[in-house]
Chain A
């Protein structure tokens, strides 16, 4: 409210000049980071775009001749004998699986991460750093090793099945490894901290007197959650979902190790083109497709999130 009062006052010319000066100084300060981002992000991206319009080389790499074939192959496949064109079922299946598993991963990460973040945010301020520290412990170990560790847990002779059998809950091992379930478990495990941290950041700023005010005004626990807490921590929810959904969609290591060969996701398909498939342009075109899907999904998500915020 105090800002509003200040904002309504007409600033003088001197003040505007001073403010411009500040902005210029800040711009100068972030120039190195901007340059790095520009070179390291846009440069390779540009190369990928260019490669997607070239022909694949004999053994790998590209031949510098223009071709739309790679883009055509993203969605369609040409029969090698009679040249009939059909939809590329395999690609669409993989795309659908990627989207489905990523959405599921995001949802599960949210359902697990929300109570966790709430728990940490409601601890006494002196204990919170300890809990956050615990959340970040998995980052200390290499992703590949952690994924293999999960494999150890869920494989047929692994800890989980042995335990369930010892308890007499199941007679024969449940096949979890090399299924979509395994991939989902792995991805939820890997990306959960990325959900917890932004949620926690939003909840830490939450004024818990508002929660008390909700209870005071006859809202039950569930209503307080829906009408007070969730709308107020929405920026954290948006950030957390993006941070989990986007890398899930391009996940590579987890589906490869836990999904075996048959449960490919987009990341694996792309890797395949650059590796054994020796079709760099198709890999590049698939990468760009993924990028566009993510960009559209994000734009739509952020817009609808901010719109419903304005309507509330």
Chain B
């Protein structure tokens, strides 16, 4: 919160002293009462590190925006605490929290100019005029909006409003910046631009970003780490790669990207690994996921692009009949019907020389390595 100059002092990325910036400790939020009570958050605990770009990802109604509003202070938790750098801020009103928000529809003040909007936070903090002017100019430079300084917010485009909203929230140098689906109102091209812009801003300012989205692609591209939420709970926290390659359960595997689910049987459970028998009678060894309740029937997930097609099914390979071929530019999806009636999708990247000449009706084998198999928790 002390001027722009401390940019250089913020520790370089990757040096994991891993200071926790924001922590939710067993946070529960119930809206309404009696029979109409809705549990928006159910004993959520999460720790968000300093300087990271953290994303809360989930379908609408999963509680991600509620969690963000609890951190901002617009709502107060029914149970549990919100902790900012070790200090319990749950009882504080929003104007006493060093946290700022970029709202979904920007919520720019229509009766003020761009510069007045950006300077609002500092002026409410009672900073001297000269400092406010300097910061406003620096912010306008940061979001590349210098020439629109004295415009009314109603006179600028949606993308420009987005930048002003960012500059306004960054100007008081919050300890944490909260972003509530800030890109959802923009068209596709502008959204792509702003994704890059947001990453740049986060890098340049060194502020912890907590980003809420329902767009899984956005979450994967932008986040250092993300949390997948559903029905008021956090299902999995990890880097985009961890989440994508090793989804913990059915919901995460299904919500993020496309997945083939395979029913399998557990043969043997060891300390940190299990041996599973696939429907094709082949056995594979795979690491034991967290919170796994050992049982006989389990589900496996295999990403379509982690599998490949073979002409002749080898021993122990899954095999089936090719039912449909869908070409989509960068790749082709092959839909294979397995003997048990389920469908398995194999995605092959298109290369210039053309893919194997597979025809609908062909009997094909499906190949994937043991690493591609993810044992699901549920």
Contact = CB atoms under 8 A, between A and B. Distances in A.
Contact of A217 (B74, B110, B120, B161): B120
B107 A218 contact: no
B119 to A, nearest CB: 10
A214 B121 CA distance: 8
A216 B124 contact: no
A212 B110 contact: no
B168 interface: yes
A207 interface: yes
Interface residue range, chain A? 20 to 34
A223 interface: yes
B59 interface: no
Contact of A1 (B107, B112, B158): B158
Given A1-B155, A1-B156, A1-B157, A219 B107 contact: no
Contacts of B156: 1
Contacts of B179: none
A171 interface: no
Contacts of A219: 95, 120, 124
Nearest to B121: A217
B100 A216 contact: yes
B259 interface: no
Given A218-B125, A219-B95, A220-B95, A207 B107 contact: yes
Nearest to A4: B155
Contacts of A1: 154-158, 161
Interface in A189-243: 207, 209-210, 212-220, 223, 227-228, 231-232
Nearest to B113: A312
B74 to A, nearest CB: 6
Interface in B109-124: 109-112, 120-121, 124
Contacts of B89: none
A309 interface: yes
Contact of B107 (A209, A227, A231): A209
Nearest to B118: A217
Contact of B109 (A4, A220, A228, A309): A228
A215 B109 contact: no
Contacts of B110: 210, 232
Given A228-B109, A231-B111, A213 B101 contact: yes
A223 B121 CA distance: 11
B172 interface: yes
Contacts of B101: 212-213, 216
Nearest to A220: B95
B94 interface: yes
Quick one: which of A215, A223, A309 has the most chain B CB within 10 A?
Answer: A215
Interface string A282-310: 00000000000000000000000000010
B244 interface: no
B331 interface: no
Contacts of B375: none
A217 B111 contact: no
A312 B112 CA distance: 7
Given A1-B156, A232-B110, A312-B112, A217 B172 contact: yes
Nearest to A224: B95
Contacts of B93: 215
A110 B337 CA distance: 73
A216 B111 contact: no
B101 to A, nearest CB: 5
B111 A309 contact: yes
A78 to B, nearest CB: 54
Contacts of A220: 95, 124
14 contacts: A1-B158, A207-B107, A209-B103, A213-B101, A215-B74, A216-B94, A216-B100, A217-B121, A217-B168, A217-B169, A218-B96, A227-B120, A228-B109, A312-B112
Nearest 4 A/B pairs, CB to CB: A217-B121, A213-B107, A218-B124, A215-B94
Given A217-B168, A227-B120, 12 more contacts: A1-B156, A1-B158, A207-B107, A212-B103, A213-B109, A214-B120, A216-B100, A217-B100, A217-B121, A217-B169, A218-B121, A232-B111
